[in-house]
Structure 1
Amino acid sequence: MMEWSEIILRLGVATLAGGAIGLNRDLHGKPVGLRTLALVSLATAMVVVLVDPVGPVGFSDAGSRVIQGILTGIGFLGAGVIFHAPDHFRIRGLTSAACTWLTACVGILCGAGQWRIVIVALLFTTAVISIGGPLERALHRLLGGRDLPGHSRDDDPAQSSDAGPHQPGK
């Protein structure tokens, strides 16, 4: 049987890691936030600890099936934050959906006690969600790509597709 300290460590780190990923989404006004992703990570860690309490020695067949089920189910949760804005011809929420799925994976790793992988994954996640958007916009300007939805070449908010009189209710 797993010791209390190990259970608290695995579930606590999973909750904090998921909350940290969710904080970024929340600060950017996205549909998932700190609480949602903290709970996703905690829940997945709980299930992994339940089915494979021995931890980092590998997963049993039952543990493998549980992880497959988690990742499939989380895909449906992630799909719930994706929506199509037909008047803007764009899809929104893909990064939040990806963060939801990634948070479930972090929870699985915490449940398995794979701390090195958790640390590296969180470092890469922080880098991608912190600098990915500004880097993407800068590369679009530098390489002459299409304007990103909602951003003009001059970053003039008055020129964004959200500001015109064509919007319903304006």
Structure 2
Amino acid sequence: MSDGIQFYIFGYLKLIIPQIDAVNFELILGIATGNYSLPAKDWLNLFWRLILSLILGAIIGLERQLKHKPAGLRTHMLVSFGSAIFVLIPLELGAAQHNFDAISRVIQGIAAGIGFIGAGEILRESQPNGRSMPVSGLTSAAAIWVSAALGIAAGCGLWQLGLMGAILCWLVLSIFKILEPHK
């Protein structure tokens, strides 16, 4: 959208809503155009991205909590929240503008680190006679990994991607369970 059109829309909104300022206008414009980006170091932008990460993690975590899984609502919310914070740090420091690999390295580190948390969810029980039982907790580990990815999306300001990912993950966790063979 050209600057002239934005100036015209801002003037019109200023007549209707006298309290609107340039930052709120950019927020409204970003949401309306599907391109959510605000100036760096804007606390409202940071707060929105962190709240979004908590909401996206809660969508998956609530489903896990209702199924009485060990990693439930709080775990998924915190994994998503932490991932968003890790992504926001280089963005706020300006490292992403000077070194394009900064965000990539952060995302790689999150993916590897969350793998350790997911590994803690995977259990393999053995029977007294030495025979091993099937592995359990793979879905919970994958859900934790997806929660981290949703937090990364929220931290980068990609709220549409995060919301679509959370909804699709919730569908996979809740609906596709009926397709699995019963034990």
Gaps of 5+ in 2: 1-39
Q: In 1, Cα distance between the equivalents of 2:83 and 2:134? A: 31
TM-score (norm 1): 0.75
What is the CA deviation profile of residues 24-64 of structure 1, one whole-angstrom value per residue up to 9, with x for unaligned ones? 1111111101111100000000110111247xx9x821111
Shift of 1:2: 2.3
2:124 alignment partner, SS class: strand
Aligned to 2:115: 75
1:90 alignment partner, SS class: strand
Aligned to 1:35: 74
After superposition, the CA RMSD in angstroms is 1.8
Equivalent residues of 2:52, 2:159 under 8 A apart: no
Gaps of 5+ in 1: 138-147, 152-170
The amino acid that maps onto 1:16 is: I
Aligned to 1:10: 49
Query: Stretches of 4+ moved more than 3 A in 1?
Result: none
Shift of 1:78: 0.3
TM-score (norm 2): 0.70
Q: Comparing both structures, which one devotes a greater share of its residues to helix?
A: 2
Listed as ranges, the matches of 1:32-71 within 5 Å are 32-53=71-92, 60-71=100-111
Listed as ranges, the matches of 1:66-105 within 5 Å are 66-87=106-127, 89-105=133-149
Equivalent residues of 2:87, 2:156 under 8 A apart: yes
Aligned residues: 136
The amino acid that maps onto 2:153 is: L
Shift of 1:77: 0.6
Shift of 1:66: 1.1
Q: In 1, Cα distance between the equivalents of 2:144 and 2:78? A: 10
What is the CA deviation profile of residues 106-160 of structure 1, one whole-angstrom value per residue up to 9, with x for unaligned ones? 00000000112112111211110111111224xxxxxxxxxx4xx3xxxxxxxxx
- Give the alignment partner of residue 25 of structure 1, picking from 39, 58, 64: 64
The amino acid that maps onto 1:71 is: A
Q: In 1, Cα distance between the equivalents of 2:87 and 2:81? A: 10
Q: In 2, Cα distance between the equivalents of 1:95 and 1:66? A: 24
Identity of aligned residues (%): 40
Equivalent residues of 1:31, 1:93 under 8 A apart: no
The amino acid that maps onto 2:74 is: R
